[in-house]
Chains A and B, each alone.
Chain A
Amino acid sequence: EDKVVQSPLSLVVHEGDTVTLNCSYEVTNFRSLLWYKQEKKAPTFLFMLTSSGIEKKSGRLSSILDKKELFSILNITATQTGDSAIYLCAVNTGNQFYFGTGTSLTVIP
């Protein structure tokens, strides 16, 4: 059974802290791993990773994939209150995407 597991389930930090969110997966036909940010409404796309060891970076956010150990991490440095959201990890196996349950991040001023 294909599955994606995220940890921790929730996290509360202070502004300026650095956080690391984890995503591990077991799927039969890996194509790519994606990270999304979900605030009140639709998930919005952050990163797509297909190759091991190549860091993707956008501002204070970065992500990396390890296809040997079957996991990815999402780092957020110098957190701001606007980073408060649920962060979703998904694995694409071709025509299907499998999502983790998400990590709820709360950033306190």
Chain B
Amino acid sequence: NAGVTQTPKFQVLKTGQSMTLQCAQDMNHEYMSWYRQDPGMGLRLIHYSVGAGITDQGEVPNGYNVSRSTTEDFPLRLLSAAPSQTSVYFCASRQILNSPLHFGNGTRLTVT
């Protein structure tokens, strides 16, 4: 079982560029989510999805888009990268409503 797989591991972007962070899980989890982790701020929820075709905003959604066309995949899009989006991004999924999150290994993004 691979669990939650994120790609790429590292990425450097210039301001204004766009890119997609990929997340896939093979545990048949309905719930998937994206977090960013910044020093002194903890993990903050960007967007989440409770199933294919359903997405919703978290605490810090501005500048990010998501879609959920399949149960397995939940990509995160940065439409026009800004230096404030420099962070470590984690994708996480869970099986049922009151169960723990399982995290991917993260993507370290730098925007110059």
Task: Give the interface of A toward B (CB within 8 A).
Answer: 4, 31-32, 34, 41-45, 48, 50, 88, 90, 92, 94-102
> Are A45 and B102 in contact (CB-based, < 8 A)?
yes
CA distance A70 to B33 in the complex (A): 26
> Which residue on B lies nearest to A44, using beta carbons?
B103
Task: Give the interface of B toward A (CB within 8 A).
Answer: 4, 31, 33, 35, 40-45, 48, 50, 56, 58-59, 90, 97-106
CB distance from A74 to the nearest CB of B (A): 15
> Are A34 and B50 in contact (CB-based, < 8 A)?
no
- Partner of A34 from B90, B97, B100, B106 at Cβ < 8 Å: B100
> Which residue on A lies nearest to B33, using beta carbons?
A97
CB distance from B61 to the nearest CB of A (A): 12
CB<8 Å pairs between A and B, sample of 26: A31-B97, A32-B98, A34-B101, A41-B105, A42-B90, A42-B103, A43-B43, A43-B90, A43-B101, A43-B103, A45-B101, A48-B100, A50-B98, A88-B42, A88-B43, A90-B101, A94-B97, A95-B48, A95-B50, A95-B56, A97-B33, A97-B43, A99-B35, A99-B44, A100-B42, A101-B42
